[in-house]
Amino acid sequence: MATTSLPRFGIWALVHGSRAALQDADEPYDASWARNKALVLEAEQLGYDSVLVAQHTINPHDASLDQLEAWTASAALAALTSRIEIIAAIKPYLYHPVVLAKMAQQIEHISGGRFAINLVNAWNRPELERAGIGFPEHDERYAYGREWIEVVDALLRGETLNHHGDHFRIDDYALRPADPFRARPRIYVGGESEPARSLVAAHGDVWFINGQPHDDVARLIADVSARTRRAGQAPLRFGLSAFVIARPTRAEAEAHLAHLFALAELDKPLRERQKANIDPNVVMIQTFAQSARVGSNGGTAAGLVGDYDTVAQRIAAFHRAGIELFMLQFQPFEADMRAFAQEVVPRARRLLSD
C-alpha cells in the first residue's frame, strides 16, 4: 500500500519520564506538567504535527514515580496550542463511554478541531486491579472496548443514541453542542492481535503499529487494509511508533545506542518486576520479546538508527509502504527532537517529493 501525501511527524509526551532508560544523567527523570507543556509547545514550533499523550493512572514502570494524567493535560494543551494535533489515549474500563465522549467533545471544541482519541485496551494489571475494576482476559477486554467505542463514536457524531448491549444500556442520549469542525474527532486504535485488527477495521481512522522492521509493518498494513470497512468510512490510515537515534555519522548513532542499552541495563530489576503486571497474551509484548531494543512500543526495532540520510531513507521506505504518521521518541528528548526536525525531516520530505 502506498501513500501519496507527505508524512506527518509526532512525538510521545513524556507522561512517565524518559522513554529509553530511567537512570540517565543527561535526562533526569521528569514527568511533570511543566516539562510536558514546554515540550509540546516547542514541538509545535518546530513543525511537529501531533502529540500522543499516553494514559496511565499510576506509573507502569514504578508506582512510586510521577505520572502525568492524560485527559486533563490534553485539555490544557488544547488551550495552549494552535496547530498541533492532540491525541489522548483512553482505556475504556476507566471511563463510562458517555462521560468520555462528552470530555472528548469538549476538548475538540477547546482545540478548534485538533483533538483525537487513541483507543487502547490495557496491558498493565495493577492500574485496574488495584482500583477494584478488575482485569478481564484479553479477548473480553476487546469485546468491551468494541462496544465502548461504538457508543463513543455515535455520541461524538451528534447522534441520539439508543443502545442496549452486553455492557451498556443507553436510552435517548445525545450530546450538545455537536462538533462544528468535522463529523467527529479522529479515532486512533492500537493493538495488533486479531481482535484489535478487527476493531480498527470497523471503527478506527488510523491504526497505530508498534515499532518493528519494515517488512513486518508492510505485512500488517496489507492484512488490515484488506478487511471490510463500514459503509461510508474513509480508507484506513496507518501510524508507526519508533525510537529515533539520528546523528551526523553512523558511528555516532551506534555509540549512542550502545550508551542507551547500557543505561537500560540499570533498569533491568525494575523490568523484571514489571513482568508479573503484564498480560502475556498482549501481542505487543510477544513481539517485543523477539528483538533487542530501547524505547517503548517497539522503540528502536523499527530501525530508525543511523546517520541523518539513512534515517531519512528508512522513513521514506516506511511511508511508501503505507505509514502516514510517525510517532517518535528520543533520548535526550528535547535535543534529539530538535535535531530530527532540522536534519531528518527535510531530507525525508525531499526524498518523497522527488
Helix (H, G, I), strand (E, B) or coil at 85: strand
Do residues 303 and 213 make contact, with C-beta atoms less than 8 angstroms apart?
A: yes
Indicate the residue type of 194.
Answer: E
Beta bridge partners of 85: 50
Helix (H, G, I), strand (E, B) or coil at 280: coil
Q: What is the mean pLDDT of residues 155-182?
A: 97
CATH 3.10.105.10 fits 8-353, yes or no: no
Helix spans in 204-267 (H): 214-225, 250-265
Largest CA distance in the chain: 62
Domain boundaries, the chain: 8-353
Count of beta carbons in the 10 Å neighbourhood of residue 263 = 20
- C-alpha to C-alpha distance for 275 and 154, rounded to whole angstroms: 37
At 278, list the grid cell. 503484564
At 129, list the grid cell. 486491579
- C-alpha to C-alpha distance for 120 and 142, rounded to whole angstroms: 9
Q: What is the per-residue pLDDT for 270?
A: 76
Q: Which of 124, 118, 111 is nearest to 40 (CA)?
A: 111
Is the model more confident about 132 or about 112? 112
pTM: 0.93
Q: Which of 106, 91, 6, 26 is nearest to 336 (CA)?
A: 26
Where residue 185 falls among pLDDT bands split at 50, 70, 90?
A: very high
Phi, psi for residue 234 in degrees, rounded to 5: -70, 160
Chain segment 250-305, per-residue pLDDT in tens: 999 999 999 999 999 998 887 776 666 666 655 555 555 556 789 999 999 999 99
Beta bridge partners of 242: 328
Q: Which of 64, 68, 63 is nearest to 17 (CA)?
A: 68
Element (H, E) at 247: strand 245-247
Chain segment 84-129, per-residue pLDDT in tens: 999 999 999 999 999 999 999 999 999 999 999 999 987 777 888 8
